[in-house]
Amino acid sequence: MFTLPSLTVEAGAHVASGAKLSAPIRRPVEPVGKAFMHHAQRTLRNHTWSEFEKLEAERNVKNVEENNVDPDELLFDTDLADPSLLTHDPRDWKTADLYAAMGLSKLRYRANDTQVIKAHRKQVLKYHPDKTSAEGGSLDQDGIFKIIQKAFETLTDSTKRAQYDSCDFQADVLPPKKSGDYDFYEAWGPVFVSEARFSKKSPVPTLGDAKSSKKEVEEFYAFWHRFDSWRSFEFLDEDVPDDSSNRDHKRYIEKKNTAARNKKKTADNARLVKLVERAMNEDPRIKMFKEEEKKEKARKKWEREAGARAEAEVKAKAEADAKAKAEEEAKNAADAKASKKKSKEAAKAAKKKNKRAIRNAAKEADYFGDIDKAAAIDEQIALIVDSLDDDQLVEVADKIKTDAKTALQTIAKTLTDSNKLPASVLSYFL
């Protein structure tokens, strides 16, 4: 071992003037090994050495903690879940909660074989009579240990475990109260998960959620409607006396047990059927699907009838059109009739007027100076007017206004020429 020289300068740091490290060389380091990864992290994150050491130490502590804890251990109970087990009579072990005795009250039927073995070892270390007596307990107080041993015996034998699990009512999840206000999926999901443990078939479909498809939901209920359960109730049997002194009594008990088992099994099946029925009735998805189906049906119907409806529409339209047309026509006809009548009346009035004008023409022209022949003129004019057709009437009425006598003479001549009147009656104008 070497020693340091004794102090010749003042205490403290004295950096030699102009001292400099030799120029470093840049080389690639080999990117392998833990040391390199640490080096990389230091370089990348710019950690100082002490910071890095601190981080590493923290990480190591964490790793050690994580690595040392068996994940199974976390699932076991830390304390006895049911303290009454300590005073439970080991002869009545069947009524004890065996999972609680094993520290598996959280796992129950989910505990696998390794977990059972591990849990048993842990419980034995804690409750072995040697240990408890060493801690001041009496050797007689080994009830809990006996129960643990019974529990281990039961849970490690698959048949016995199935029988026990069948009657492990503590693992049952009860369906929600009917009147209560609950979320369907939250309330019913665990119920079906716990019931699923009795299924002979696997995998068992889960309840799913509001987004599950119709197919999934239908498959789910189809599975549960046809649920095949291995649940049996041997565990609750009354103990069959093993002495052969009373065979009849033994047979009687056995018979009674079988009957009780069957009864319980039937009741359990009925219970499950009711349970599934209730869930199905409450299932908002089923309601939704039904509604959807209804809507779909309506829509289909609507679609299917589209042709007929279109036809009817066309027909109605045609009918309406025809009706409108007829109405219009009728109106037109009425209008025309009215106007015809009017014009007829107007023509009649005009005719009358014309006739009157012609008749009065002579009078107005003071009978053309022949007032004495007035009666004859009037008579002859009346004859002319009566014999005139409509055109002539208009013509004459028109002409009269300018020269009544000439007009009358011309028409008289025309009439006689056409032999409508005999010349004799129109003597004045010829």
Partner 1 sequence: MSSPVIGISFGNTSSSIAYINPKNDVDVIANPDGERSIPSVLSYVGEDEYHGGQAVQQLVRNPKNTIINFRDFIGLPFSECDATKCANSAPIIDIDGKAGFAITRGEGVEEKITVDEVVSRHLNRLKLAAEDYIGTKISQAVLTIPTNFTGEQKSALIASAAKVGLKIVQFVNEPSAALLAHLEAFPNEKDANYVVADFGGVRSDAAVIAVRNGVFTILATAHNTALGGDNLDDALIEYFAKDFQKKTQSNPRKNARSMAKLRVNSITTKKTLSNATSGTISIDSLADGFDYHTSINRMRFELTANKVFGQFSAFIELVISKANLDLLDIDAVLLTGGVAFTPKLSSNLEFLFPESVEILSAQNKNSSSNPNELSSSGAALQARLISAYDDDELAEALQPVVVNTQHTSKPIGFADSEGNFHPVLLAESSFPVQKKVTLKSAQGNLLLSIYEGEHKIVEKTIESEAKEADDEDSEEYSDDEPEVVREKIYSLGAKLMDLGIKDVKGGLEIAFNLNKDGKLRVTARDLKSTNVVKGEL
What span, in angstroms and rounded, lies between the C-alpha atoms of 322 and 328? 10
For residue 396, the tally of other CB atoms under 10 A from its CB is 24
Q: Is residue 245 within 8 Å of residue 278, measured between CB atoms? A: no
Binding flag, residue 136, partner 1 (CB under 8 A): no
Applying CB under 8 A, which part among 4-12, 111-119, 353-361, 410-418 lies near partner 1?
4-12
Sign of CA dihedral 139, 140, 145, 149: positive
Based on CB atoms, which residue is closest to partner 1, 16 or 74?
Answer: 16
What is the C-alpha separation between 175 and 321, in angstroms, rounded?
A: 67
125 binds partner 1 (CB under 8 A): no
The window from 23-31, 227-235, 253-261, 401-409 that contacts partner 1 (CB under 8 A) reads 23-31
Size of the site for partner 1 (CB under 8 A): 45
Nearer to partner 1, 18 or 307 (CB): 18
Contact 174, 191 (CB under 8 A): yes
- 32 touches partner 1 by CB under 8 A: yes
Q: Is 14 in the site for partner 1 (CB under 8 A)?
A: yes
- Residue range at the interface with partner 1 (CB under 8 A); choices 36-44, 119-127, 232-240, 315-323: 36-44
- Residue number, 46 or 244, with CB nearest to partner 1: 46
Residues 304-343 that bind partner 1 (CB under 8 A): none
CB of 76 to partner 1, least distance (A): 23
Check binding of 25 to partner 1 (CB under 8 A): yes
Contact 411, 384 (CB under 8 A): yes
Nearer to partner 1, 2 or 169 (CB): 2
* DSSP assignment string, 202-262: SSPPP---TT--HHHHHHHHHHHHT--B----GGGPPPPP--TT-HHHHHHHHHHHHHHHH
Site for partner 1 in 38-77 (CB under 8 A): 38-44, 46, 48-49
Question: From the CB of residue 359, how many other CB atoms can be counted at a distance below 10 Å?
Answer: 16
**224 in the Ramachandran plot: left (φ > 0), alpha (ψ -120 to 50) or beta?**
alpha
- By beta-carbon proximity to partner 1, the closer residue of 12 and 369 is 12
Candidates 25-33, 127-135, 295-303, 393-401 — which segment interacts with partner 1 by CB under 8 A?
Answer: 25-33
Stretch that binds partner 1, among 2-10, 168-176, 210-218, 247-255 (CB under 8 A): 2-10
DSSP one-letter code for 199: B
- Does residue 139 bind partner 1 (CB under 8 A)? no
Cα–Cα distance, 428 to 425 (Å, whole number): 8
Identity of residue 375: A
**Residue 7 engages partner 1 in binding (rule: CB under 8 A):** yes
The residue ranges that bind partner 1 (CB under 8 A) are 1-16, 19-44, 46, 48-49
